[in-house]
Structure 1
């Protein structure tokens, strides 16, 4: 799949299960096949530093060290002396890397979410807008807008009423195989994550992620999906 490798980072409030209320989660997103670098709480030299995927049992620890840096497979961890922050890099991202993580050191950790996407669309006319996949696969696209709006939707073709796949005035919505997720970015702007699972040949076509803004000159991002039955060459 030919996509632009992209990294973006922002903060949002995530509703934690149970009675713990809202906790702040760092959200990072990178393109499949690319890399993502996450920032963890500051630590002291020589302290135990770790990165794990939730539920973060012993078998879920992906990398750990008491040294300045370490590498294990696709994961690397480094303590930066100047800032004393810990940075973790995941290389060659795959869709299975999406999920919740924790990283930090002995006495402090940060909850992190990683979302692996197929493309970021930010209005740049030169950006890649055609995604290639095969039947049974999934597509997830991040659309960036400079302003926000209450109604968001994901549609196919010309986006007439009958073409709307999923819409919401909330933060997330799911309808059959289609999903949409709205994430505000401080200090301004929003991301819409739109996705399709279990792709079929009939899913080939043009799509839009849309903010319902009257008199706007930039109301949507558009991309094309090409679904094939055979192998797809990168």
Structure 2
């Protein structure tokens, strides 16, 4: 009897352990790199193929929902997130682009149904992007070798030629186009793309090109879209996107990207904008043409002791000649007024005696 009781207890314990093992499911972990993208896949049962699916962050309250489906087999995009319910595979795929370190954490693929929703727990891990600053280009077919590292050390003097220098620079760096404008003016940026992207959504953003850094995006091909100081046009025949920025500011200088929105990782083309300060010329030198009479405006007004010559053709003709000693003729030919008026006029123009 005691042996039977012991056996029953062991069987009961095994059942409890099996139940715990069934309850504890493995949580899928999806890994990405900062600035890149990650794709999360969640499977569901046959009865949920036409249900609404959504993706949320833990604890998955109403305002934790990041994106949801609208119709089966149609991609829905919202900011950095996109979702697709693939009916044939009975799978929901969620893509997050421009990953941040703060995106790491617990998420859920949810199925909206009457009563309690069904959740599939997943985990996202975002790793910090690593930058390798060390490059070692070499020229083959020759004994001349050079290396570029953080420190420059040479044990032998290689023989350099213009061909070798250009080859080395081509390997080390990729040319980034620089578009220049003047403060208060405008600049137009051009970016080329491949044939397969001609009808994709194009956008223009400032580095580091997060969702909040997107300045403007296209809506339809060959149609200009304007937003504030920015305008964008996708010209399909030339496979190019042009972006215009008006009313330039000095703070507009920096690194930008022409982006192509596509499934998975977007394609980015780096460009640079340089805005120069507008130059203001405060010096003015007006002159009267068609005559030898010339005058210059400056911060100080200099008067001369020379007496002006009067004529009936023009009432006042001031010549700045220190050697002039002419005296004005009779005032009757030029002015018809009282002596008091003539005296005031003489004070204003530095004439000592008008009588």
Normalised by the shorter chain, which TM-score bucket?
0.3 to 0.5
Looking at secondary structure, tell me which structure has more strand per residue: 1
TM-score, reference length from structure 2: 0.27
Return the index of the structure with the highest Cα Rg. 2
Structure with bigger RCO (C-alpha 8 Å, 6+ apart):
1
Looking at secondary structure, tell me which structure has more helix per residue: 2
